[in-house]
Amino acid sequence: MAEAVAAISPEQQQQQQQQTPSASAFVGDKVPDNANEHCPGPESESAGKADGCAGCPNQEICASQAGIAGPDPDIAVITERLRGVKHKILVLSGKGGVGKSTFTSQLAFALAGDDEDREVGVVDVDVCGPSIPTIMGCAREEVHASGGGWSPVFVRDNLG
């Protein structure tokens, strides 16, 4: 999966979304340009299931009904919470076992350094097997969750 020393900026996220076709590209009655001739449309109940969908490159995403509900309503909340994070670095790869967690933890320690005024945070979004807590020596610690969000586990005073 991926670890993030924070996240990408809203501007970068918007640019990526514009460059990458996604489920949100199918919202509305608009039939994708590369759809089959008899496409029922992505909002149809038969989207991705009709005979006309066979062999269409969009068949799987249309059948899943992904993106029909519109954009994630939490985007604004996340954007606001990250507004105070000056620099965000995303470490990811499409392959496992390449050292993302090792690199991320070493980068975090290096960025934190001995400067008590510099705050560095790491988020491990690998829900199947997060290894950042093990690498950073805090595997037995618990993240405190409250109505205001999560409170980080600190490895050092300036590294959480």
Write the DSSP symbol of residue 83: T
DSSP code per residue over 97-129: SSSHHHHHHHHHHHHHTT-TT--B--EE--SS-
Q: How far apart are CA 88 and CA 13, in angstroms?
A: 12
Give the per-residue pLDDT at 68: 60
pLDDT for res 24: 40
pLDDT tens string 132-141: 999 999 999 9
At residue 80, the pLDDT reads: 92
Q: Which residue has the higher pLDDT, 153 or 50?
A: 153
**pLDDT tens sequence across 13-69:** 454 444 334 444 444 456 777 777 778 877 777 788 888 888 888 788 777 775 566
* pLDDT (0 to 100) of residue 6: 46
Q: What is the mean pLDDT of the chain?
A: 78
Q: Is the pLDDT of residue 89 over 90?
A: yes
Least confidently predicted of 12-21, 51-60, 82-91, 148-157: 12-21
Between 130 and 43, the higher pLDDT residue: 130
